[in-house]
């Protein structure tokens, strides 16, 4: 019902209704892992204001990361102080309801943690801060993981840039644009990357941040995955936006069909219903711009186990535009 203004005076009036929007996309909590001067290693703490993070030492990397996340508008932030080898910190992160994990070290343990989460249907993105460009390129080459991005700005507080970028990923998700995005004020110790270093980092699978107008700007959001299992060049999961979109599709479809596990028989009617539900979710993501197109899902009983229902999806992720080429044909 549209309310009629009570005044007789001519004018333009507003009938504003505020509705609680249904949650869409995956839950994007953030966990920050870093070395500290105090705090119990491996103990996760839900932080809502900088004062809570001060217990780790106001000059610690973890405090600075938490402060950057809060200033960027992130919510549901977990602070985890790292011990000598980060093992306890990432073990504590396993139990947390987070999608993004930003850290200042522990690359090998991070890779094992992210892989284990993804294999168990709990996709996560790891953001690793590495200040030195050569070290960042080497780390990306070693990791070669679609769910891990190496952050480098060539400055003294790359961990802060990584935290601010994590907040941006949480805010925009798969439907936003991260390329060319300013994430924070560069300050006095901001990035000092040259154009050649930025190109080198991108080729290696690391995300360079340049200073532009006093802000740290993401040149291009890429993952560390640049090669396939055989070591050959592979750009399938090069862009972070692709991985974010795939994760959101899988998480959304998984939640949509999970309720059908209880009390349903693996028969034609159930499989048709599952296919219809998946189609609804895929169409919603296509409308949001996350997917470019999709094929109707095929749902069938597993040929070797009748208790298993297999749903095959065919999706085309809408790629993020990174370049526009103007082709000029001039006649004189």
Average of per-residue pLDDT across 53-76? 92
pTM: 0.85
- Domain assignment present for 225: yes
Whether residue 113 contacts residue 103, with contact meaning beta carbons closer than 8 Å, is answered with no
11-38: per-residue pLDDT in tens? 555 555 443 333 344 557 999 999 887 8
Q: Is the pLDDT of residue 133 over 50?
A: yes
Distance of alpha carbon 131 from alpha carbon 191, whole angstroms: 9
- Domain assignment present for 100: yes
Whether residue 305 contacts residue 295, with contact meaning beta carbons closer than 8 Å, is answered with no
- Domain assignment present for 227: yes
Quickly count: other Cβ atoms within 10 Å of residue 127's Cβ: 24
- Domain assignment present for 169: yes
- Domain assignment present for 51: yes
For the chain, what is the domain count? 1
Cα separations in angstroms, 70 against 52, 63, 106, 115, 276: 12, 11, 23, 28, 40
- Domain assignment present for 180: yes
Structural domain harbouring 236: 30-242
Mean pLDDT of the chain: 88
The pLDDT of residue 19 is 38
Residue that is written with structure tokens 């011990």 in the block: 83
Dihedral sign from CA coordinates of 46, 51, 53, 55:
negative
- Domain assignment present for 127: yes
- Domain assignment present for 123: yes
Q: Which residues contact 290 (CB under 8 A, 6 or more apart)?
A: 174, 175, 245, 248, 249, 317, 318
210-269: per-residue pLDDT in tens? 988 888 999 999 999 999 988 899 999 999 999 999 999 999 998 888 877 777 888 999
């Amino acid at each position: 019902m549209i309310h009629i203004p009570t005044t007789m005076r001519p004018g333009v009036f507003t009938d504003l209704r505020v509705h609680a929007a249904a949650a869409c996309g995956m839950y994007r909590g953030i966990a920050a892992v870093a070395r500290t001067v105090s705090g119990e290693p491996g103990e996760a703490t839900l932080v809502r204001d900088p004062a809570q993070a001060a217990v780790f030492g106001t000059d610690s990397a973890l405090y600075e990361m938490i402060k950057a996340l809060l200033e960027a508008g992130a919510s549901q932030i977990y602070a985890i102080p790292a011990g000598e080898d980060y093992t306890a910190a990432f073990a504590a992160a396993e139990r947390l309801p987070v999608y993004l994990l930003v850290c200042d070290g522990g690359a090998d343990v991070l890779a094992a943690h992210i892989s284990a989460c993804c294999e168990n249907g709990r996709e996560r993105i790891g953001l690793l801060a590495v200040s030195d460009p050569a070290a960042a390129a080497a780390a990306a080459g070693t990791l070669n993981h679609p769910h891990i991005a190496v952050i480098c700005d060539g400055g003294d507080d790359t961990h802060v840039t990584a935290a601010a970028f994590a907040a941006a990923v949480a805010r925009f998700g798969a439907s936003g644009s991260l390329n060319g995005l300013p994430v924070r004020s560069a300050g006095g110790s901001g990035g000092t990357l040259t154009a050649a270093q930025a190109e080198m980092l991108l080729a290696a699978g690391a995300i360079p941040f340049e200073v532009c107008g006093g802000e740290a700007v993401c040149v291009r959001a890429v993952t560390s995955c640049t090669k396939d299992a055989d070591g050959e060049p592979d750009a399938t999961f090069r862009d972070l936006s692709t991985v974010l979109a795939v994760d959101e599709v899988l998480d959304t479809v998984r939640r949509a069909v999970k309720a059908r596990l209880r009390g349903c028989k693996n028969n034609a009617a159930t499989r048709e219903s599952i296919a219809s539900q998946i189609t609804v979710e895929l169409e919603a993501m296509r409308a949001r711009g996350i997917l470019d197109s999709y094929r109707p899902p095929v749902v069938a009983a597993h040929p070797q186990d009748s208790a298993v229902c297999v749903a095959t999806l065919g999706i085309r992720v809408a790629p993020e535009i990174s370049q526009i080429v103007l082709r000029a044909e001039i006649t004189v």
